[in-house]
A and B are shown apart, each in its own frame.
Chain A
Amino acid sequence: MYTQIPLTILLLPLIGFFVLIFFGKRLPRQGDWFATAAITASLLLSLYVLITKLTIIPQESVSNSLTWVTIGSLEIEIGIMIDNLAAVMLVVVTLISALVHFFSMGYMKGDVRYSRYFATLGLFSFSMLGIVLTNSLLLMYVFWELVGISSYLLIGHWYEKKSASNAANKAFIVNRIGDFGMFLGIMILFISFATFSFEGIFGAIEGGSLPFGSEGWLTAAGLLIFCGAVGKSAQFPLHVWLPDAMEGPTPVSALIHAATMVAAGVYLVARVFPMLTADALLIIAYIGAITALIAATIAVTQFDIKKVLAYSTISQLGYMIMALGVGAYTAGFMHLVTHAAFKAGLFLGAGSVIFAMHKSLHDLDDHKTDAQDIRNMGGLKSKMPLTYATFLVFTLAISGIPFTSGFLSKDEILAGSLAFSSINGHWLLPVIGFAVAGLTAFYMFRLLLLTFHGKPSDQKRIEGITESPFVMTIPLIVLATISLFVFYSFNPFGAADGWFFAAIERPLSIVPELMQPAGNALFLDVLHDVHGTAMLLSILIAAAGIILAFAVYQWKKISSETLAQKAGVFYKGASNLWYFDEIYDRVFVNGLFMLTKISKWFDENIIDAIVNGTAVVAKGISAISGWIDTNIVDGLVNATATTADRAGGLLSHVQTGKLQTYLVYIVFSFLVLFILFI
């Protein structure tokens, strides 16, 4: 009974997808109401599941599975599992998806492939829910790839644009690299334990059996699975696809590249958390920290409203991964949830701004100005009050200002990293964490001030700006509301008191004792000690970032140019995205070209030489046999013919054609015969 409702939640978007893809064009309004109704129904059911799960059976996990394939004695099962993690995630995915559906009705109005867009949204929601609900790595991998393909379709929605189709390709291919690692990790586990299900794998490890009997292999398997998360969650070094993916429609960026798909990687790490060894977790924490820092520095230098948000997303994802790595499991997952709400809100707000800018530019018949460049905006506050108000809430949330959801989760993450460093001495992690907190506050307020405050860059343009329709602003209001602290904890300064921390507990590590990360009890103890310090520091740093942003962009006390000059190399590197694309181009693309050149050389000089050598030998043999044929066999034949020819030639002289000559022969012959025989 418990698994039927989740199954319905899972299948509703899929039904929407099939109905829209086949009949979308024939339905009234191209069927957008059908897709939206399906996802809204999913949302309501998910809320029901979450409430039921948390109130009735908070400690159990419900699962149901059936045998899919039987190979000899091996049975591969597929099934679904609901624990608190999945139940929370269900609501996050369906909520954001439903709001994005509503928003898209306004944003995508009149699009050439309107119904296909909604169909693909349905496919994406289905795949994402599949990842959330599955109870085995195999099915997770299947849905993982489904998410990849639907993301590919959505990024490339406007595939007439070369940049959009390139971005779709890039997203898909970069993701494939991570997925390859994930596949290897899954295979290591499958070969060792002959099962894909989480329960089976965790049970086997807990029972003391290790992949190939070695603890190193367990770390390797964990890290390889983490590779999948690196790809999907855009972690360093595979983060390059996410900024490019902004070529897709903005609601898609909100759904996929802010709230859900990129969170899948974090969810995956949370799922396999019990089997990760201390070494693996340390690497995960550092990858997350590096990602957070790199992306935050780049975000400071960008001018495209969506690019800033994209890098900010990468940075926040780095936070989540770092949180999981240091063992702040609940904080990391909570940041996923809160971030999903306020980042989706930021993207939808940006979408609203871009929508208005487009309209204004279109009315002015201006096709040269970039509608997404924040330098072309400014002063939108009075024209778009609702968008501004919600955007402000989201910005406060992401900057980690008290009374917002972002403060709760970010504070816990920073406290977690501080606790981790005071246990293990990795002081770099909290330093990066706090630095990124300051940077985040700075670049988010920079974005807010440049877009909504200050003088408009062009008075005429600003007059054409109008607030977006209700179908677009209501999702913003909903998201802004749930970016407040009360939805997570009634204590605005302590997330740990809320229902969230009660529901989501860090699972016990099941790896052999020597490889375990610091125990939860010890961790929580230290966490408690450092929590106050972390909170104070995080508020101070965020405030510093905000004040700096105001000083530079509102009060103009400090010129942004001099600031950029002072930063020198750092500014240059960050504004050039730390040259990742160039490095990949040099190393992998050119490397591949080099490899193909070497292969070509090998082909031309070794393989072809062998082939040619064979040919030369064959040619030689055939030349000999040809010589025998022409000179000996043909010679005999020709000799016969020539002899006959010569003889005929000689005798043909006798045949003169003159009658009297013949008669002479007759007479002469007669005479000869006469003389001989008589």
Chain B
Amino acid sequence: MDFAVAQWLAEPGLNHFLIVSALLFSLGLMAVLSKKNVIMVLMGVELILNSANINFIAFSRFTELSLEGHMIGLFVVIIAAAEAAVALAIVLNMYNRFRTIHLEDIFTLKG
């Protein structure tokens, strides 16, 4: 293993965080696009939100932004909580209406 690589790995910087965030985003997007279950889709959404949070925090740590990133991160968490509440209520209604929570079975708006 090369030294530079080892050093890069040993000394975490901005890029490491961005890579983790990108992976997390990709996983979230994957979940949103491919999962049948609405709950799982919502989970994917949470992953995407959190990847964004990691980005905010990372930029706040490695640039001149100081604490603004943290504040937005907290905001996102709160909004995510509210969103989850609203979304789960929607899911319940959806189940009431269609007797399923599988997204592929719901296509009433097909053109």
Whether A657 pairs with B110 at a CB distance below 8 angstroms is yes
What is the distance, in angstroms, from A472's C-beta to the closest C-beta of chain B?
A: 109
**Could you tell me which residues of chain A, from 643 to 667, have a CB within 8 Å of some CB in chain B?**
651-660, 663-664, 667
Enumerate chain B residues within 8 angstroms of A664, measured Cβ to Cβ.
33
Given contacts A658-B103, A659-B103, A660-B104, contact A652 B111 (CB under 8 A): yes
- B107 within 8 Å of A by Cβ? yes
- B107: chain A residues at CB < 8 Å are 656-658
Does B47 touch A at the CB level, under 8 Å? Answer: no
Do the beta carbons of B108 and A657 come within 8 Å of each other?
Answer: yes
Tell me if B29 counts as interface (CB < 8 A to partner A): yes
In the complex, chain A residues whose CB is within 8 Å of the CB of B106: 657-659
A655 to B34, CA, bound (A): 18
Residue of A nearest to B104 (CB): A658
Closest residue of chain A to B109, judged by CB? A657
Chain B residue contacts of A651, Cβ below 8 A: 111
Specify which chain A residues have a CB less than 8 angstroms from the CB of B108 in the assembled complex.
657
Given that A667-B29, A667-B33 are contacting pairs, would A660 and B109 also be in contact in the complex, using a CB cutoff of 8 Å?
A: no
B32 at the A interface (CB under 8 A): yes
Q: Is the CB of A655 within 8 A of B110?
A: yes
The distance in angstroms between the C-alpha atoms of A660 and B104, with both chains bound, is 8
In chain A, positions 627-678 with a C-beta closer than 8 Å to chain B are 651-660, 663-664, 667
Establish whether residues A660 and B111, one from each chain, have CB atoms under 8 Å apart when the complex forms: no
B6 to chain A, nearest CB (A): 32
Task: Give min CB distance, B87 to chain A, whole Å.
Answer: 13
Known: A658-B103, A658-B104. A663 touches B32 (CB 8 A): yes
Q: B111 contacts A657, CB within 8 Å?
A: yes
Q: Which residues of A contact B110 (CB under 8 A)?
A: 655-658
B27, chain A: closest CB distance, angstroms: 14
Cα-based distance from A667 to B109 in the complex (angstroms): 20
Bound-complex Cα distance A402 to B34 (A) = 146
CB contacts (< 8 Å) of A655 on chain B: these are: 109-111
Residue in contact with B103 in the complex, picked from A653, A660, A667, CB distance below 8 Å:
A660
State in angstroms the CA–CA spacing of A229 and B29 once bound together: 123
Cβ distance B98 to chain A, nearest Cβ, rounded Å: 12
Contact with A along B68-111 (1 / 0, CB 8 A): 00000000000000000000000000000000000110111111
Q: How far is the CB of B95 from chain A (nearest CB, A)?
A: 15
Restricting to A91-145, which residues have a CB under 8 Å from any CB of B? none
Residues of A within 8 A of B32 (CB): 660, 663
A653 CA to B104 CA, complexed, in Å: 16
Contacts of A657 in B (CB 8 A): 106-111
Could you tell me if B111 and A654 are in contact, using CB atoms closer than 8 angstroms?
yes
Interface hub of B29, B34, B104 (most chain A Cβ within 10 A): B104
Q: B32, B108, B111 — which one has the most chain A CB atoms within 10 A of its CB?
A: B111
CA distance A562 to B111 in the complex (A): 114
C-alpha gap A653/B110 in the complex (Å): 8
Compute how far the CA of A667 lies from the CA of B34 in the bound complex, rounded to whole angstroms.
Answer: 13
Tell me the complex Cα distance, A656–B107, Å.
7
Shortest Cβ gap from B100 to chain A (Å): 13
Residues of A within 8 A of B33 (CB): 660, 663-664, 667
**Bound state CA distance, A495 and B107, in angstroms?**
130
- Tell which of A655, A660, A664 has the most Cβ of chain B within 10 Å: A660
Q: Which residues of B contact A653 (CB under 8 A)?
A: 111
CB neighbors of A among B21-36 (8 A):
29, 32-34
Question: Which residues on A sit within 8 Å (CB–CB) of B34?
Answer: 660
Complex Cα gap A653–B29 (Å)? 24
- Please, which residue of chain B has its CB at the minimum distance from the CB of A654? B111
CB closest residue in chain A, given B105: A658
Residues of chain A lying within 8 A (CB to CB) of residue B104: 658, 660
Interface centre among A654, A655, A658 (most CB of B within 10 A): A658
Q: Closest Cβ of chain B: how far from A227's Cβ, in Å?
A: 95
CA distance A549 to B98 in the complex (A): 124
A8 vs B63: C-alpha distance when bound (angstroms)? 142
How many Å from the CB of B32 to the closest CB on chain A?
6
Question: Could you say which of B34, B108, B109 has the most chain A C-beta atoms within 10 Å of its C-beta?
Answer: B109
- Residues 577-591 of A, flagged 1 when their CB comes within 8 A of B and 0 if not, give 000000000000000
Residue of B nearest to A655 (CB): B111
Give A654 to B111 CA distance when docked, in angstroms.
8
- CA A115 to CA B41, docked complex, whole Å: 113
Could you tell me which residues of chain A, from 261 to 296, have a CB within 8 Å of some CB in chain B?
none
Q: Complex: how many Å from CA A664 to CA B41?
A: 13
What's the Cα separation between A212 and B41 when bound, in Å? 120
CB B77 to nearest CB in A, in angstroms, measures: 23
Chain B, Cβ-Cβ closest to A664: B33
A664 to B104, CA, bound (A): 13
* B41 cross-chain contacts in A, Cβ below 8 A: 660
Q: Enumerate chain B residues within 8 angstroms of A654, measured Cβ to Cβ.
A: 111
A653 CA to B107 CA, complexed, in Å:
13
Once bound together, how far apart are the Cα atoms of A658 and B103, in whole Å?
7
Q: Which residues of the other chain, B, contact A659 by a CB distance below 8 angstroms?
A: 103, 106
CA distance A650 to B47 in the complex (A): 36
Q: How far is the CA of A171 from the CA of B23 in the complex (A)?
A: 124
Give 4 closest A-B pairs by Cβ, nearest first.
A655-B111, A657-B110, A657-B107, A652-B111
- Chain B interface (Cβ < 8 Å from any Cβ of A): 29, 32-34, 41, 103-104, 106-111
Selected A-B contacts with CB under 8 Å, 22 pairs: A651-B111, A652-B111, A653-B111, A654-B111, A655-B109, A656-B107, A656-B110, A657-B106, A657-B107, A657-B108, A657-B109, A657-B110, A657-B111, A658-B106, A658-B110, A659-B103, A660-B32, A660-B33, A663-B32, A664-B33, A667-B29, A667-B33
Given contacts A652-B111, A656-B111, A667-B33, list 14 more A-B pairs with CB under 8 A: A651-B111, A653-B111, A655-B109, A656-B107, A656-B110, A657-B109, A657-B110, A658-B103, A658-B110, A659-B103, A660-B33, A660-B34, A660-B104, A663-B33
